[in-house]
Amino acid sequence: ALDKGFLKCFQTILGADNTTSGVIFTKSSSSYEPLLKSTIRNARFLKSSVPKPNLIVTPHSLFHIQVALLCSKKSGLQVRVRSGGHDYEGLSYVSNVPFLIIDLVNLRSITINMDEESAWVQSGATVGELYYAIAKRSKVHGFPAGSCSTMGVGGHFSGGGFGTIFRKYGLASDNVIDAEMIDVNGKILNRTLMGEDLFWAIRGGGGSSFGVITAWKIKLVSVPSTVTAFDVSRSLDQGATNLLHKWQTIAPKLPAELFLHTVVGVSNSASQIGKTVVVSFSGLYLGTAENLLPVMQNSFTELGLQSNNFTQMTWIQSVLYFAGFSIDESLEVLLRRNQTSSSFKAKSDYVKDPIPLSGLEGLWKILLLENSPLLILTPYGGIMSEISESEIPFPHRKGNLYGIQYSVNLVSNEEAPKHMDWIRRLYAYMKPYVSKLPRQAYLNYRDLDLGLNQGNSGYEKAKTWGLKYFNNNFESLARVKARVDPGNFFRDEQSIPPL
């Protein structure tokens, strides 16, 4: 009945002459399932037991979004907005109440203004499409967003968005200069019309609490014509523990042009020595190999890097490199929207004081209990320490040495509980070594273990997870929410409650 009410409302507003075919997909449509699955990036939510939307709406215009919002209000269907579908907990396409998805797949134009060094990007575009469009226009411009090319700019920019040049230029959301969105009343707003408080909130506070963000205006940044990448791995018997221990204090202090992150995993391949922890030190330098060599040799002698560890490339090739493609691949691979997904659980932390050697040794013991653990340690510092904690809602700035993302492959439905237990145990182990009061987390690495909205449970309850993602910015976010969506129409398990 809810679906019928919605469909009738939509058709009435559109008028008898306009078809909803290709715009609204019901469960009986043959396109419904492929469309739903098209951007599910965590296979955990492909299971048949996971609730599915009553309808999927793929607007071709802003008017379609306005109508969808109005009709979902009338019919009582909850709305979930999906851009790239990378939400770790599937919040853009799963809900426990009757709902529909507004999927922005058709709204993905990118318009670059080279004179202004800016671009308007519609929310359904992927970061890969954005990087591609920039590279087609200029060899010396780039944009500081994340590495995975299939992420949607809708969710990614609204939750922060960091990548290999963020120590130099900040987050994607630090580089947003205007936005277009549709509010709960169906009004189309730009920066001036929405007001500075709402414009502040959508740059890091997550999009899903405030409306449907339809496009972002971003400022492009300068990149040199040659950049240099490297990736070297060390196992425990090659001194990985001491190297990682040193890395913790070195990487956040390196020049902003140099990004040196570490990826920690477990290798089963060294059969004689058995299973071992392997740390890979992987970097990008905005400059030539010749200039990078002395920086690495002086600051991190122990890693022992030589010229032959470095590969020079263009910035867009570095995008391919960090997205997992070969740098010789055609740039068109950045336009691919399909990607295989695994079933995973992830969590995040921030580290403010170096973890002692004993702490790392204990960590290795836990990692060795799993087959496919993955930790990505991202160094902060650089411009991230110069931007104030309240500049945008993303609060993780000065004082953070690095962020950690923990993830584990859940393998199969049967095995999932075992791996879930493991990652929660790892998270408990890390408590003494990471940020405290609150223990901070990154919104874009969504983790429902941190807490949930239940019914209209309100601000006090939401603080359990809200302070972790936003720290002191949480209260301001809740006040913006109260101004722009007091009835809490845009909501999910971790949306900002009105205060």
List interacting residues with ligand FDA (CB under 6 A).
41, 80-88, 91-92, 104, 123, 146-148, 151-152, 154-156, 158-163, 206-208, 212-213, 444
Cβ distance to ligand FDA smaller for residue 163 or 381:
163
Cβ distance to ligand FDA smaller for residue 88 or 281:
88
We find the least distance from the C-beta atom of residue 494 to ligand FDA, in angstroms, to be 8
We find the least distance from the C-beta atom of residue 239 to ligand FDA, in angstroms, to be 28
We find the least distance from the C-beta atom of residue 101 to ligand FDA, in angstroms, to be 9
* Residue of 172, 101, 182, 195 lying closest to 444 (CA atoms): 172
We find the least distance from the C-beta atom of residue 12 to ligand FDA, in angstroms, to be 26
| C-alpha–C-alpha distance, residues 69 and 55, integer Å | 13
Cβ distance to ligand FDA smaller for residue 156 or 419:
156
CA distances from 482 to 157, 440, 479 (A): 22, 24, 5
Rounded (10°) CA dihedral 269, 274, 275, 278: -70
Residue that the structure tokens 């182990």 belong to? 429
We find the least distance from the C-beta atom of residue 232 to ligand FDA, in angstroms, to be 21
We find the least distance from the C-beta atom of residue 83 to ligand FDA, in angstroms, to be 3
Cβ distance to ligand FDA smaller for residue 213 or 303:
213
Looking at this protein, which amino acid is placed at residue 354?
A: P
* Residue of 138, 325, 324 lying closest to 224 (CA atoms): 138
Cβ distance to ligand FDA smaller for residue 314 or 341:
341
Q: Is 49 helix (H, G, I), strand (E, B) or coil?
A: coil
**Secondary structure letter of residue 406 according to DSSP:** E
Environment class of 18 (CB within 10 Å of its CB; exposed 0-12, middle 13-18, buried 19+): exposed
Sheet-wide strand order for 311-313? 311-313, 227-235, 276-285, 258-267, 373-379, 402-409, 344-351
Looking at this protein, which amino acid is placed at residue 45?
A: F
We find the least distance from the C-beta atom of residue 4 to ligand FDA, in angstroms, to be 25
| C-alpha–C-alpha distance, residues 52 and 36, integer Å | 9
Please answer whether residues 156 and 127 qualify as being in contact, where contact means their C-beta atoms are separated by less than 8 angstroms. yes
We find the least distance from the C-beta atom of residue 27 to ligand FDA, in angstroms, to be 21
| C-alpha–C-alpha distance, residues 91 and 487, integer Å | 20
We find the least distance from the C-beta atom of residue 79 to ligand FDA, in angstroms, to be 9
* Residue of 208, 219, 209, 217 lying closest to 104 (CA atoms): 208
Cβ distance to ligand FDA smaller for residue 79 or 303:
79
Cβ distance to ligand FDA smaller for residue 282 or 444:
444
Cβ distance to ligand FDA smaller for residue 85 or 382:
85
CA distances from 141 to 122, 135, 154, 165, 220 (A): 19, 7, 21, 12, 6
* Residue of 17, 53, 20 lying closest to 35 (CA atoms): 53
Cβ distance to ligand FDA smaller for residue 378 or 471:
378
Cβ distance to ligand FDA smaller for residue 84 or 252:
84
We find the least distance from the C-beta atom of residue 71 to ligand FDA, in angstroms, to be 18
Between helices 2-14 and 62-75, what is the axis angle to 10°?
140
